Amino acid sequence: MAFEQELEIARSLAVESAKLALQYQKGITAVEKADHSPVTRADKECEQLIAGKLKEAFPDDGLLGEEGASAASANGRKWIIDPIDGTRDYLRGNPLWGPMIALEVNGEVAVGVVHFAGYGGSYWAVRGEGAYHNGERVHVSGKTSAAESVLCMNQLNKLDRERYWDRLVPWINGFWAMRGLGGTPDAMMVAAGQAEVWIEPKASPWDFAVPKLVIEEAGGIFRNLDGGSSIYAGNGIGFTPGLASVVEEFLR
Protein backbone atom coordinates (compact mmCIF):
# COMPACT_ATOMS: atom_id res chain seq x y z
CA MET A 1 0.00 0.00 0.00
CA ALA A 2 1.20 3.50 -0.81
CA PHE A 3 1.79 5.80 2.18
CA GLU A 4 1.53 2.86 4.58
CA GLN A 5 3.73 4.46 7.24
CA GLU A 6 1.97 7.81 6.93
CA LEU A 7 -1.45 6.21 7.31
CA GLU A 8 -0.38 4.14 10.31
CA ILE A 9 1.03 7.17 12.12
CA ALA A 10 -1.96 9.38 11.27
CA ARG A 11 -4.42 6.76 12.50
CA SER A 12 -2.47 6.28 15.73
CA LEU A 13 -2.25 10.02 16.37
CA ALA A 14 -5.96 10.55 15.71
CA VAL A 15 -6.83 7.95 18.35
CA GLU A 16 -4.21 9.23 20.80
CA SER A 17 -5.33 12.85 20.50
CA ALA A 18 -9.00 11.87 20.90
CA LYS A 19 -8.11 10.13 24.16
CA LEU A 20 -6.33 13.28 25.31
CA ALA A 21 -9.37 15.39 24.42
CA LEU A 22 -11.66 13.07 26.38
CA GLN A 23 -9.53 13.62 29.50
CA TYR A 24 -10.31 17.36 29.32
CA GLN A 25 -13.93 17.19 28.18
CA LYS A 26 -15.82 17.22 31.46
CA GLY A 27 -16.35 20.81 32.54
CA ILE A 28 -14.13 22.30 29.84
CA THR A 29 -14.70 25.90 28.75
CA ALA A 30 -13.87 27.74 25.55
CA VAL A 31 -12.81 31.16 24.38
CA GLU A 32 -13.98 32.73 21.12
CA LYS A 33 -11.56 33.16 18.23
CA ALA A 34 -11.60 36.04 15.76
CA ASP A 35 -13.95 34.13 13.47
CA HIS A 36 -16.34 33.58 16.42
CA SER A 37 -15.64 29.85 16.57
CA PRO A 38 -14.73 28.33 19.96
CA VAL A 39 -11.34 27.00 20.96
CA THR A 40 -10.42 25.05 24.09
CA ARG A 41 -7.29 23.94 25.88
CA ALA A 42 -7.94 20.49 24.39
CA ASP A 43 -7.89 21.84 20.82
CA LYS A 44 -4.51 23.44 21.40
CA GLU A 45 -2.90 20.54 23.25
CA CYS A 46 -4.19 17.97 20.76
CA GLU A 47 -2.74 19.99 17.89
CA GLN A 48 0.59 20.29 19.70
CA LEU A 49 0.62 16.52 20.20
CA ILE A 50 -0.20 15.75 16.57
CA ALA A 51 2.09 18.38 15.04
CA GLY A 52 5.01 17.48 17.29
CA LYS A 53 4.90 13.78 16.49
CA LEU A 54 4.37 14.34 12.78
CA LYS A 55 7.37 16.66 12.64
CA GLU A 56 9.41 14.09 14.52
CA ALA A 57 8.44 11.33 12.09
CA PHE A 58 8.60 13.44 8.91
CA PRO A 59 10.93 16.40 9.56
CA ASP A 60 10.90 17.70 5.96
CA ASP A 61 7.09 17.84 5.72
CA GLY A 62 5.14 21.06 6.13
CA LEU A 63 2.35 21.67 8.64
CA LEU A 64 -0.96 23.56 8.53
CA GLY A 65 -3.06 23.40 11.70
CA GLU A 66 -6.31 25.08 12.65
CA GLU A 67 -4.84 26.31 15.93
CA GLY A 68 -1.69 27.75 14.42
CA ALA A 69 0.69 24.86 13.78
CA SER A 70 2.76 25.88 10.79
CA ALA A 71 5.92 24.75 9.06
CA ALA A 72 7.22 25.21 5.54
CA SER A 73 7.54 22.11 3.39
CA ALA A 74 10.92 21.09 1.98
CA ASN A 75 9.54 18.32 -0.20
CA GLY A 76 6.06 19.20 -1.51
CA ARG A 77 4.33 17.41 1.37
CA LYS A 78 2.14 19.10 3.98
CA TRP A 79 0.16 17.74 6.93
CA ILE A 80 -3.20 19.43 7.51
CA ILE A 81 -4.53 19.15 11.07
CA ASP A 82 -7.91 19.78 12.67
CA PRO A 83 -7.27 18.69 16.26
CA ILE A 84 -10.96 18.61 17.24
CA ASP A 85 -13.31 18.87 14.31
CA GLY A 86 -16.66 19.75 15.89
CA THR A 87 -15.52 21.76 18.91
CA ARG A 88 -19.08 22.95 19.57
CA ASP A 89 -20.22 19.32 19.85
CA TYR A 90 -17.19 18.54 22.01
CA LEU A 91 -18.16 21.36 24.37
CA ARG A 92 -21.76 20.15 24.65
CA GLY A 93 -20.83 16.53 25.28
CA ASN A 94 -22.15 15.38 21.90
CA PRO A 95 -20.24 12.54 20.19
CA LEU A 96 -20.01 14.22 16.76
CA TRP A 97 -16.39 15.38 17.03
CA GLY A 98 -12.98 13.97 16.26
CA PRO A 99 -9.40 14.74 15.25
CA MET A 100 -8.74 14.96 11.51
CA ILE A 101 -5.32 14.51 9.96
CA ALA A 102 -4.54 14.71 6.23
CA LEU A 103 -1.39 14.61 4.13
CA GLU A 104 -1.29 16.77 1.02
CA VAL A 105 1.33 15.85 -1.59
CA ASN A 106 2.08 18.32 -4.38
CA GLY A 107 -1.29 19.99 -3.90
CA GLU A 108 -3.41 16.83 -3.73
CA VAL A 109 -4.65 15.16 -0.56
CA ALA A 110 -3.13 11.68 -0.45
CA VAL A 111 -3.92 10.41 3.07
CA GLY A 112 -6.83 11.29 5.36
CA VAL A 113 -8.01 10.07 8.75
CA VAL A 114 -10.79 11.08 11.14
CA HIS A 115 -11.48 9.35 14.45
CA PHE A 116 -14.80 9.79 16.27
CA ALA A 117 -14.11 8.58 19.80
CA GLY A 118 -17.81 8.35 20.67
CA TYR A 119 -19.46 7.98 17.28
CA GLY A 120 -18.58 5.21 14.89
CA GLY A 121 -14.80 4.97 15.22
CA SER A 122 -12.39 5.78 12.38
CA TYR A 123 -12.70 6.54 8.69
CA TRP A 124 -9.64 6.78 6.50
CA ALA A 125 -8.50 6.77 2.89
CA VAL A 126 -5.35 6.72 0.79
CA ARG A 127 -5.38 8.12 -2.74
CA GLY A 128 -5.93 5.22 -5.14
CA GLU A 129 -6.46 2.69 -2.33
CA GLY A 130 -10.14 3.16 -1.42
CA ALA A 131 -11.94 4.42 1.68
CA TYR A 132 -12.48 2.50 4.91
CA HIS A 133 -14.54 2.56 8.09
CA ASN A 134 -12.99 0.58 10.94
CA GLY A 135 -11.20 -1.60 8.42
CA GLU A 136 -14.21 -2.28 6.19
CA ARG A 137 -14.21 -0.73 2.74
CA VAL A 138 -17.01 1.78 2.13
CA HIS A 139 -18.71 2.95 -1.05
CA VAL A 140 -21.17 5.68 -1.90
CA SER A 141 -24.71 4.59 -2.67
CA GLY A 142 -26.11 3.85 -6.09
CA LYS A 143 -29.15 6.12 -5.70
CA THR A 144 -30.04 8.12 -8.80
CA SER A 145 -33.15 10.00 -7.70
CA ALA A 146 -33.39 12.84 -5.19
CA ALA A 147 -36.78 11.46 -4.14
CA GLU A 148 -34.95 8.37 -2.81
CA SER A 149 -31.95 10.23 -1.42
CA VAL A 150 -30.77 11.87 1.79
CA LEU A 151 -29.37 15.41 1.73
CA CYS A 152 -27.05 16.52 4.53
CA MET A 153 -26.40 20.18 5.10
CA ASN A 154 -24.52 22.19 7.69
CA GLN A 155 -24.85 25.80 8.90
CA LEU A 156 -28.34 26.51 7.63
CA ASN A 157 -28.35 29.45 10.04
CA LYS A 158 -25.70 31.18 7.90
CA LEU A 159 -27.18 30.67 4.47
CA ASP A 160 -29.25 33.83 4.14
CA ARG A 161 -26.24 35.59 2.62
CA GLU A 162 -25.66 32.97 -0.07
CA ARG A 163 -26.65 33.48 -3.69
CA TYR A 164 -28.67 30.26 -3.80
CA TRP A 165 -30.75 30.93 -0.67
CA ASP A 166 -34.00 31.72 -2.50
CA ARG A 167 -34.05 28.40 -4.35
CA LEU A 168 -32.62 26.23 -1.59
CA VAL A 169 -35.87 25.22 0.14
CA PRO A 170 -37.67 24.19 -3.09
CA TRP A 171 -34.61 22.11 -4.01
CA ILE A 172 -34.48 20.46 -0.56
CA ASN A 173 -38.16 19.56 -0.92
CA GLY A 174 -37.24 17.17 -3.72
CA PHE A 175 -35.25 14.90 -1.41
CA TRP A 176 -36.49 11.88 0.50
CA ALA A 177 -35.02 13.25 3.76
CA MET A 178 -32.65 15.85 5.13
CA ARG A 179 -30.11 15.43 7.92
CA GLY A 180 -27.58 17.71 9.57
CA LEU A 181 -25.16 16.14 12.05
CA GLY A 182 -22.31 18.57 11.41
CA GLY A 183 -19.87 18.68 8.52
CA THR A 184 -17.64 15.63 8.82
CA PRO A 185 -20.19 13.12 10.18
CA ASP A 186 -22.46 14.09 7.28
CA ALA A 187 -19.62 13.65 4.78
CA MET A 188 -18.82 10.21 6.19
CA MET A 189 -22.50 9.23 5.78
CA VAL A 190 -22.19 10.03 2.08
CA ALA A 191 -18.97 8.02 1.81
CA ALA A 192 -20.56 5.05 3.56
CA GLY A 193 -23.67 5.03 1.37
CA GLN A 194 -26.00 6.27 4.12
CA ALA A 195 -26.70 9.62 2.43
CA GLU A 196 -26.22 10.97 -1.07
CA VAL A 197 -25.40 14.70 -0.87
CA TRP A 198 -23.46 16.73 1.69
CA ILE A 199 -23.22 20.52 1.49
CA GLU A 200 -20.81 22.58 3.61
CA PRO A 201 -21.29 26.26 2.68
CA LYS A 202 -18.47 27.77 4.74
CA ALA A 203 -15.40 26.03 6.15
CA SER A 204 -11.59 25.88 6.03
CA PRO A 205 -9.02 23.60 4.36
CA TRP A 206 -8.63 21.47 7.49
CA ASP A 207 -12.39 20.87 7.42
CA PHE A 208 -12.36 19.63 3.82
CA ALA A 209 -9.08 17.73 3.38
CA VAL A 210 -10.17 14.43 4.94
CA PRO A 211 -13.82 14.45 3.77
CA LYS A 212 -12.83 15.23 0.17
CA LEU A 213 -10.43 12.31 -0.01
CA VAL A 214 -12.67 9.82 1.78
CA ILE A 215 -15.69 10.67 -0.41
CA GLU A 216 -13.65 10.48 -3.61
CA GLU A 217 -12.03 7.20 -2.63
CA ALA A 218 -15.49 5.82 -1.78
CA GLY A 219 -16.50 6.53 -5.38
CA GLY A 220 -18.10 9.93 -4.82
CA ILE A 221 -17.50 13.41 -6.19
CA PHE A 222 -16.34 16.58 -4.43
CA ARG A 223 -17.03 20.02 -5.85
CA ASN A 224 -16.99 23.66 -4.78
CA LEU A 225 -20.00 25.88 -5.28
CA ASP A 226 -18.27 27.46 -8.28
CA GLY A 227 -17.65 24.06 -9.86
CA GLY A 228 -14.02 23.70 -8.79
CA SER A 229 -12.64 20.94 -6.57
CA SER A 230 -10.35 22.54 -4.01
CA ILE A 231 -10.11 22.26 -0.24
CA TYR A 232 -9.11 25.94 -0.19
CA ALA A 233 -12.28 27.40 -1.78
CA GLY A 234 -14.14 27.87 1.53
CA ASN A 235 -17.06 25.60 0.64
CA GLY A 236 -17.76 22.13 -0.67
CA ILE A 237 -20.32 19.59 -1.85
CA GLY A 238 -19.80 15.85 -1.72
CA PHE A 239 -22.20 13.58 -3.58
CA THR A 240 -22.72 10.22 -5.20
CA PRO A 241 -22.36 10.09 -9.02
CA GLY A 242 -26.02 9.10 -9.37
CA LEU A 243 -27.04 12.53 -8.03
CA ALA A 244 -24.57 14.50 -10.20
CA SER A 245 -27.26 15.95 -12.46
CA VAL A 246 -29.36 16.99 -9.44
CA VAL A 247 -26.40 18.79 -7.84
CA GLU A 248 -25.24 20.38 -11.08
CA GLU A 249 -28.73 21.72 -11.75
CA PHE A 250 -28.74 23.35 -8.31
CA LEU A 251 -25.27 24.86 -8.80
CA ARG A 252 -26.30 26.41 -12.13
Q: How far apart (Å, rounded) are the C-alpha atoms in residues 120 and 96?
A: 9
User: Does residue 249 surpass a pLDDT of 90?
Assistant: no
Q: Which of 118, 136, 130 is nearest to 15 (CA)?
A: 118
- Least confident among 37-51, 133-147, 155-169: 155-169
Q: Which of 13, 84, 16, 87 is nearest to 51 (CA)?
A: 13
Please check whether residue 21 is in contact with residue 121, taking contact to mean a CB–CB distance below 8 angstroms: no
Confidence band of 160 (pLDDT split at 50, 70, 90): low
User: Does residue 1 surpass a pLDDT of 80?
Assistant: no
Average model confidence (pLDDT) across the chain: 93
Average pLDDT over residues 197-213: 95
Predicted TM-score of the model (pTM): 0.95
Confidence band of 155 (pLDDT split at 50, 70, 90): confident
User: Does residue 157 surpass a pLDDT of 90?
Assistant: no
CB neighbours (10 Å) of residue 76? 12
Q: Which residue has the higher pLDDT, 34 or 137?
A: 137
pLDDT for 45-88, tens place per residue?
999 999 999 999 999 999 999 999 999 999 999 999 999 999 99
CB neighbours (10 Å) of residue 127? 17
